Structure 1
Amino acid sequence: MKYSLTLCFFLLITWAQASTQAPKQFDVVIYGATPGGISSAISAAREGASVALFEELYQVGGLTTGGLSHPDFRTLESLQGIYREFMNRVLKHYTETYGPNSRQVKDSFYGTHAEPRVAKLIFEAWLAEYPNIRVFTQHRLQSVTLTKLKSGRSALTGAVFANLLDNQPVEVKGAVFIDGTYEGDLMAKAGCEYRVGRESRQEYGEIFAGKVYYHDQKFWLGSTGDADNAIQGYNFRVCMTDSAQNRLPIPKPEAYDRATFLPLLTDIKQGKITRFADQIVKIQPIPNRKADVNDRHFAGSMSLSRPGWSYEWPDGSPQKRQQIFQRHLNYTLGLFYLLQNDPEVPTAIQQEARQWGLPKDEYPENGHFTPSLYVREGRRLVGEFIFQEKHCQQAPDGIRGYWQADAVAVGDYGLNSHGCNAPNRYHPTIRDGAFSLYYSNLPYQIPYGVMVPKTVDGLLVPVAVSSSHVGYSALRYEPIWMALGQAAGLAAAQTLKRNVPVRNIDVTVLQKKLHQAGAITAYFSDVFPDSPYFQACQYFASQGYFHNVPDRNSVPFVDHFVSINGQYSKAFPYHAAELDKLMDKELAEQWLSKANQLSSPLRTTFNGLTRGQFLHQLFKQVKPGQLHLPEE
């Protein structure tokens, strides 16, 4: 089968044909129809804003429609708000199409796992529900308009996009702009300060910062912790199937170079590798006998990721990115082709690898292969708050993670970085920069400031957020980006309604909007949006009321990872609100002491009240703008 390997992310097809005569003025302009960008658009539109959503590719959905069908998170309790809405739509699709007891429903895992084509249909239909959202696919950012402010900052007020169908410019103006790209392309064009690469250990005191060789739960020689320009390796999240009826053979790339894979063949000859799955790639099942095939995090000489190949991507021109994309594409298909056909690959491995091929019903317009390279890490904003390693770990003075009074989202995953450099002769089996600390941190609050640039107004950045390299390894997941996107969209709407800069919005009002929409700013294992006390519980948790409830010194350590499905876990211990529990005097006095610190003190009795009733009585007295701030 002859196969032209010029599959690219600029393919000239659109799902909603964009007019080259775009309306000039929008309330909110978003670049990047990733899940984070989409959730921003929907959240702003729900508040009545007119929204323009621009996307460089021919389809919306980012990696969720581009092959990342097996998302990273730990506990289902952390998935609320607009991401839970997405889950419910996925679950509804499989339930109505195949039946509630079907294998497809089971494999969707509560709606978190969707085939790329299904995720695409859902995002398209969802966006189409809002006539005040205009979607422009096949449009690339060219330039921006900045206005100098008396404060010394600049305001982003306009942008020009190139229509890739005819190369005609489309100029738009907006009150608020949102950067939904993985790379941070809009914030870079606007002149925001950003970083690419790794900080040193000394800069923020992060154990895993800089150059590190971490393996078998220890640091190896060469772990200097020095800063450099290295970022995580990229790869494709390849949608594959083992269904003979739906399977296409892996084509031989035109640029196939067998010599590239000699280290892998050596490992196979030496008996270090005996299986395709788990030792070379990670096969993660999704509905309809498909899989999200991913890099094997701690594989030996070779897997799907190519550490070091991605360094020029974040700041690269479209042409440079296309070269990097093509190099990864040739490598990926070449790897599969070798394992399925090379005579030096043992029959057992060949037969196992040959069970998998490209699905006929995915990406028919792109050779049945994803148009999206998995950009694990691009530019990182330097914003009003820099999320670091410590911010997703247990706070020194509490049972939970660090208290963030202006939290607008919750994350729940371990610090996780794929290799930044390939194995070398000194460390032939260890990738520099690879670590996976699945058991080392608790669910963590994410503050509003990670989205706010320091020197540019009128812009929010919910994807390429402000963080260190290590901190970003805990934030780089679609459920988190959708949660931050929801917050960004609602913040943009507040800016429009109150005529204040996005950096000066009332975060307590934003939190209230998020809670009303079923989103969380604090993690609980037993209080969900259908609870009558949900909003009160979320509000007071954001004020620190549960920071050390129960007291860490009064309870024994409990292992917090109890698997329910591979990498997924039961709810975290000691994160229950226990709202049906009767209030005791000590806790009542503790909470009332906090309430009395407000500008308008809150008062209530506790006798005979449950925790939920007590908080509800306090919550009824809360006035807009009342916010506790953590002590420095």
Structure 2
Amino acid sequence: MDFSNLHYYVPTPRAYDPKVIKRDLIVYGATPAGITAAIQAKRMGMTVIIAEFGRHIGGMTASGLGASDSGAKEAIGGLSKDFFQELGKYYNTAEQWTFEPKAAKYVFEKWLDDHKIEVVFNQHLERVNKENLKIIEIMMEDGTAYKGDFFIDCSYEGDLMAKSGVTYFVGRESNATYKETYNGIQFGHPHHQFKKWIDPYIKPEDPSSGVLPGITDTTHETLGYHGMGDDRIQAYNFRICLTNNPDNRVPFPIPPSYAPERYTLLLRYINSGVWDTMNLHIMLPNGKTDLNNYGGFSTDNIGMNHEWPDGSYETRERIFQDHFTYNLGMLYFLANDEQVPKPIREEVREWGLARDEFEGTGHWPHQLYIREARRMIADYVMTDHNCLADMTVEDSIGLASYQMDSHHCRRVIIDGRVYNEGDVEVPISPYPISYRSLRPKAEECTNLLVPVCLSSSHIAYGSIRMEPVFMILGQSAGAAAALALQLKTTVQEVPYDMLKKELLSHGQVLQWDDSIEDDPVSRMKSTFGKI
């Protein structure tokens, strides 16, 4: 199997005669948010270009996350709703909420072509030049310069935001920071926890032998207390597109740097009588699936991503490859290692990579699932008070409707057993997201909008961070940038009444009708599971 093109980062040499590109709006990141931001701005008369770090469009939506994290479908409007209707045309249905990666790619490519929006790939941001609180240009590693009146950071990491000198946070705030309930270190939640007592040591019951791979040795680190803040983020994985169709199935190959000892903990768990690693295996059209994390030990590479948000591109490439090796190695281990019980090996071998997906990267998804990275600190910070309807905002630019959801952040030892820490799953009802959470403070930057790494606490972000919501926020950011250009003002001074009128005219849903659904627990149980 050829994985030579599967990378987060490949350095680009500086061009002999670098380009200078000028547009009204520069969008950084061809994620779903970046695409909708560019389309909305173009519809409102702006000249637009998208600079994409990698070599692919569509972010996670086009990279395996085919079991859409839609929450309440009635809360989705504008281009985000149009996306699912376009998928309906692709599959000859009214709307399509589960989809193959190549179907999402098809819709995004069609949109960009229809609107004549150019995407430039392999654009690795190097520095940002500002004058009088305005971004004047952004410079890439290859020397390309992008000059614009307005900029929208649609990257999953918030790199443009960070390099623009905007204040941000990485990790979990303490509950005390914003007087929240579900933030910080989280003990006691039963979700995706080990169901049995599993020994964490290389030699069972011998702490001096060291701990198994993937476990934090808590003899050298404090466990902390419930609700305490730290710098950890929830786990990443790949959303893996599998199939059991023999005509389209590629057997799991052995990955580079394969190390079967990474799965000793998983083997102990299986031998204890628990086999649930592949339980969150959601069917997509045409015999494919979206494999996600489930249970005590699965695709989440817990605790191995904490350097990602502020890491160099080289650091991120190392983490990317480690996650790839971990995820593919787990599937190969389960399918082939003779230590694994034969019935499980036979079950796993019924599945393989989909031959007609990701053909340029060895049939493996090209986008690592960056569930959270940096988060801006703006004039307004979304918190669990918003999610729980204890507080609402009057400047809504879209709704979030998925539960507050954090994956585990670390795997530790408590009283001699393995314990996953950090998972939270709390049902909510749809709630509005503030425009103020998309724009930096005026004293930091006046022509930048941040719809992905927006201003939010860790746990509120766990609800907001859904791809359909990112499409909503991207479109709203594109409209705000266009109005700011028309009015010759800053993003902070865009009149909300004008923005609201514009968004409603394009089909955005800004307020929730409580009569649609008054049972959030039932609604969350009806969605596709943990994301």
Fold match by TM threshold 0.5: yes
Q: Which amino acid aligns with 1:561?
A: V
CA distance in 2, matches of 1:92, 1:431: 42
Q: Which residue is 2:206 aligned to? A: none
Deviation at 1:283, TM superposition (A): 0.5
Quick one: which of 235, 242, 266 aligns to 1:233?
235
Deviation at 1:71, TM superposition (A): 2.0
CA distance in 2, matches of 1:520, 1:566: 21
Q: Which residue is 1:195 aligned to? A: 169
Deviation at 1:562, TM superposition (A): 3.3
Q: Which residue is 2:307 aligned to? A: 312
Rate the CA distance shift 1:558–1:140 in 2: closer, same or farther, 3 A. closer
Indicate whether 1:88 and 2:81 are aligned.
Answer: no
Give the secondary structure class of the aligned counterpart of 1:215. coil
CA distance in 1, matches of 2:479, 2:501: 10
CA distance in 1, matches of 2:277, 2:231: 32
Deviation at 1:53, TM superposition (A): 0.4
Q: Which residue is 2:6 aligned to? A: 7
CA distance in 1, matches of 2:464, 2:238: 20
Indicate whether 1:118 and 2:117 are aligned.
Answer: no
Give the secondary structure class of the aligned counterpart of 1:177. strand
Give the secondary structure class of the aligned counterpart of 1:214. coil
CA distance in 1, matches of 2:315, 2:247: 38
8 Å CA contact 2:281–2:289 kept in 1: the answer is yes
Question: Residue deviations 1:250-275, cap 9 Å, x none?
Answer: 111231111111111111112122x5
Question: Residue deviations 1:523-574, cap 9 Å, x none?
Answer: 12679xxxxxxxxxxxxxxxxxxxxxxxxxxxxx9643335984269xxxxx
Rate the CA distance shift 1:44–1:418 in 2: closer, same or farther, 3 A. same
Rate the CA distance shift 1:36–1:61 in 2: closer, same or farther, 3 A. same
Indicate whether 1:474 and 2:448 are aligned.
Answer: no
Rate the CA distance shift 1:392–1:362 in 2: closer, same or farther, 3 A. same
Quick one: which of 330, 334, 347 aligns to 2:342?
347
Deviation at 1:201, TM superposition (A): 1.5
8 Å CA contact 2:25–2:151 kept in 1: the answer is yes
How many residues end up aligned between the 2 structures?
495
Deviation at 1:180, TM superposition (A): 0.1
Q: Which residue is 1:65 aligned to? A: 62
**Within 5 Å, which residues of 2 pair with 1:185-334?**
185-216=159-190, 223-273=225-275, 275-278=276-279, 282-296=280-294, 299-300=295-296, 302-334=297-329
8 Å CA contact 2:68–2:528 kept in 1: the answer is no
Q: Which residue is 1:542 aligned to? A: none
**Within 5 Å, which residues of 2 pair with 1:41-190?**
41-95=38-92, 100=93, 110-131=95-116, 133-148=117-132, 154-162=133-141, 168-190=142-164
Deviation at 1:70, TM superposition (A): 1.1
8 Å CA contact 1:157–1:458 kept in 2: the answer is no
Indicate whether 1:446 and 2:421 are aligned.
Answer: no
Q: Which amino acid aligns with 2:357?
A: E
Deviation at 1:442, TM superposition (A): 1.3
Quick one: which of 485, 493, 503 aligns to 1:496?
485
8 Å CA contact 2:173–2:458 kept in 1: the answer is yes
CA distance in 2, matches of 1:387, 1:427: 38
8 Å CA contact 1:214–1:433 kept in 2: the answer is no
Question: Residue deviations 1:337-393, cap 9 Å, x none?
Answer: 010011121122112111211111111111111111100010000112100011111
8 Å CA contact 2:238–2:367 kept in 1: the answer is yes
CA distance in 2, matches of 1:4, 1:561: 42
Question: Residue deviations 1:61-87, cap 9 Å, x none?
Answer: 001111111121322111111101111
Give the secondary structure class of the aligned counterpart of 2:413. coil
Indicate whether 1:360 and 2:355 are aligned.
Answer: yes
Deviation at 1:188, TM superposition (A): 0.3
Give the secondary structure class of the aligned counterpart of 1:186. helix
Q: Which residue is 1:554 aligned to? A: none
Deviation at 1:172, TM superposition (A): 1.6
Question: Residue deviations 1:167-207, cap 9 Å, x none?
Answer: x3111210100000010000001010000011112111111
CA distance in 2, matches of 1:29, 1:558: 41
Deviation at 1:141, TM superposition (A): 1.0
CA distance in 1, matches of 2:72, 2:435: 23
8 Å CA contact 1:5–1:254 kept in 2: the answer is no
CA distance in 1, matches of 2:5, 2:330: 17
8 Å CA contact 1:5–1:330 kept in 2: the answer is no
Q: Which amino acid aligns with 1:193?
A: T
Deviation at 1:467, TM superposition (A): 0.8
CA distance in 2, matches of 1:524, 1:270: 48
Deviation at 1:406, TM superposition (A): 0.7
8 Å CA contact 1:32–1:55 kept in 2: the answer is yes
CA distance in 2, matches of 1:76, 1:121: 22
Q: Which residue is 2:399 aligned to? A: 410
**Within 5 Å, which residues of 2 pair with 1:551-630?**
559-562=519-522, 566-567=526-527
CA distance in 2, matches of 1:30, 1:443: 28
Q: Which amino acid aligns with 1:173?
A: K
Higher relative contact order (CA 8 A, sep 6+): 2
Max radius of gyration: which structure?
1
Give the secondary structure class of the aligned counterpart of 1:510. helix
Rate the CA distance shift 1:502–1:564 in 2: closer, same or farther, 3 A. closer
Indicate whether 1:381 and 2:376 are aligned.
Answer: yes
Indicate whether 1:515 and 2:525 are aligned.
Answer: no
CA distance in 1, matches of 2:337, 2:243: 21
Rate the CA distance shift 1:276–1:379 in 2: closer, same or farther, 3 A. closer
Rate the CA distance shift 1:566–1:121 in 2: closer, same or farther, 3 A. same
Point out the more displaced range, 75-84 or 487-496: 75-84
Unaligned runs of 5+ in 2: 194-222
Q: Percent identity?
A: 35
Q: Which amino acid aligns with 1:208?
A: Y
CA distance in 2, matches of 1:406, 1:157: 28
Q: Which amino acid aligns with 1:277?
A: M
Q: Which amino acid aligns with 2:331?
A: F
CA distance in 1, matches of 2:382, 2:501: 23
Give the secondary structure class of the aligned counterpart of 1:449. helix
Cα RMSD after superposing both structures: 2.4
Rate the CA distance shift 1:251–1:490 in 2: closer, same or farther, 3 A. same
Rate the CA distance shift 1:362–1:43 in 2: closer, same or farther, 3 A. same
8 Å CA contact 2:72–2:430 kept in 1: the answer is no
8 Å CA contact 2:403–2:524 kept in 1: the answer is no
Unaligned runs of 5+ in 1: 149-153, 163-167, 396-401, 528-556, 570-632
Q: Which residue is 2:202 aligned to? A: none
Rate the CA distance shift 1:356–1:491 in 2: closer, same or farther, 3 A. same
Q: Which residue is 1:583 aligned to? A: none
**Within 5 Å, which residues of 2 pair with 1:525-536?**
none
